[in-house]
Amino acid sequence: MVGNGMAGARLVSEVRARSADVRITVFGAEAWQPYNRVLLSNVLAGTSSPDQVRLLDPRWYADHGVTARLGVPVTAIDRDCRTVIAADGTREPYDVLVLATGSEPVVPPIPGAERATAFRTLDDCDRIREAAERAGGAVVVGGGLLGIEAARGLAGRGVPVTLLHLAGHLMERQLDAEAGLILRETLGGLGVDIRTGVTVSAVRERHVELSTGERMDADLVVLACGVRPVVGLARDAGLEVDRGVVVDDELRTDDPSIFAIGECAQHAGHVYGLVAPAWEQASVVADLVTGTDKEARYRGSRLVTRLKASSVELAAMGETHLTEDEAEIVRFSHRHKGTYRKLVIRDGRLVGAILLGETAAVGTLTQLFDRGGPLPFDRAGLLFPGLGGVPVADSPTRMPDAARVCQCNNVTKGQIRACWESGARDVEAVAAATRATTGCGGCRDAVEGIVGWLCEQEGVSA
């Protein structure tokens, strides 16, 4: 296994859960134990410690017979000898090789970019937090998910922060202009000054320069300009590479003994940058390499994006940019309250949605989007769950056991109920048994609600 991030660590644990006999060696470029990169914004904000976002206990490798070479990157693949060569000169043979090399930050080619800090790893978090302690002001470049989370985290630490974004509105890939505007106003109320439609031309010692010639003071500059798949190792080995390492439905590259998963993999033209697809891919590869299910195939993922910034509720899924000419659009907007809800419906099925502000409807809509089932006639009831006979999927009393509570780990209410009946009486115990809440963390409130409801029904203490 080359890569010990969220995809690589998940595959190692999935393989070991299926077989104790497969000899596993994992190389990780970072010296850290694998951690949940999705929750780095919590570490930056100070609401979580590095230990709290760790995916595997340090003793896990030894306890499960896994050889872990942490802080030892792989530098080459010898496909003829079926061997990987590490930076320390180690040559490790393989029968099956899995690439989970992830992504790297995009650094704009501007003068002084080396003075800025990317926001991608725990080491980046440490550098940003240390700089924030003495910074009189900070600039975050990039208004996507990571940029917003970084800016909100810094503002939560009391640092005056300005977010600069090239596009006309925030999160333009996931949100339409109106949702972007309301998100901007919400963040503004939380201490984040936002400038859109601007280009940074240089990073200087204590300021950044815009293409207009304007200067903005900044003791700390954080780059969140997107990521790109790390494919150099695969390309140098002669594997097919496009935007990512090209794989088929078995997640195999054009060398049948080499797989690729996670953010470095390109399947059916798509490179996924979210955790749920990576974990779905890990499950398929684990089934194939252990022989547990030789018919396992990956058919692509339906993406639900959740913003993980304190005091900001946002979920977006599917095709959010279709027009009235292309689809049925149902929309509700209340700028004063920071609320925006939009449904995109085609052929009677939900193909996209945006939920900003109070997101009680997210559970119901995620299920409808994920399953592609027909929608009820009362569209407005979908935006305002509980009205018009439309059930609230996030309410434990109305949620069917088949409802998927944790999208990242594919955990249903029924599985949580079974876990509770086996003795799990709090979220941590449920997480340990099912992995619910350990992805993006967006389902934690729902899991807490189910556990609390079950305890209340049975008259036991949570």
pLDDT in tens, 107-161: 999 999 999 999 999 999 999 999 999 999 999 999 999 999 999 999 989 999 9
pLDDT at residue 362, as a whole number: 81
Q: Are residues 65 and 79 in the same domain?
A: yes
Q: Are residues 126 and 219 in the same domain?
A: yes
Q: Are residues 452 and 358 in the same domain?
A: no
Q: Does residue 305 sit within a domain? A: no
Q: Does residue 307 sit within a domain? A: no
Q: Does residue 297 sit within a domain? A: no
Residue 202's domain comprises 113-225
Residue 399 structure tokens? 């949620």
What is the count of structural domains for the chain? 4
Residue 155 structure tokens? 């503002």
| Total number of residues shown for the chain | 462
Q: Are residues 97 and 233 in the same domain?
A: yes
Alpha helices, DSSP H, located in 97-140:
122-132
Q: Does residue 1 sit within a domain? A: no
pLDDT at residue 145, as a whole number: 93
Q: Does residue 81 sit within a domain? A: yes
pLDDT in tens, 384-425: 865 544 444 555 655 667 777 887 777 888 788 878 777 777
Q: Are residues 117 and 213 in the same domain?
A: yes
Q: Are residues 221 and 232 in the same domain?
A: no
- Cβ proximity of 253 and 259 under 8 Å: yes
The residue from 339, 362, 394 where one domain ends is: 394
pLDDT at residue 451, as a whole number: 81
Q: Are residues 87 and 236 in the same domain?
A: yes
Q: Does residue 98 sit within a domain? A: yes
User: CA 387 from chain center: how many Å?
Assistant: 32
User: CA 396 from chain center: how many Å?
Assistant: 25
pLDDT at residue 398, as a whole number: 58
Q: Does residue 460 sit within a domain? A: yes
User: Which residue numbers in the chain have pLDDT < 50?
Assistant: 388-392
Q: Are residues 10 and 48 in the same domain?
A: yes
pLDDT at residue 83, as a whole number: 98
The residue from 367, 394, 421 where one domain ends is: 394
In the chain, DSSP finds a helix count (H) and a strand count (E) of: 13, 26
What CATH number does residue 363 fall under? 3.30.390.30
What CATH number does residue 120 fall under? 3.50.50.60
Q: Are residues 390 and 357 in the same domain?
A: yes
pLDDT at residue 370, as a whole number: 84
**Which residues share a beta bridge with 207?**
217
Residue 218 CB coordination number (10 Å): 26
Q: Are residues 378 and 415 in the same domain?
A: no
pLDDT at residue 428, as a whole number: 82
Q: Does residue 295 sit within a domain? A: no
Distance from C-alpha of 247 to C-alpha of 260, rounded to nearest angstrom: 7
Distance from C-alpha of 75 to C-alpha of 82, rounded to nearest angstrom: 14
Q: Are residues 127 and 215 in the same domain?
A: yes
Q: Are residues 117 and 220 in the same domain?
A: yes
pLDDT at residue 389, as a whole number: 46
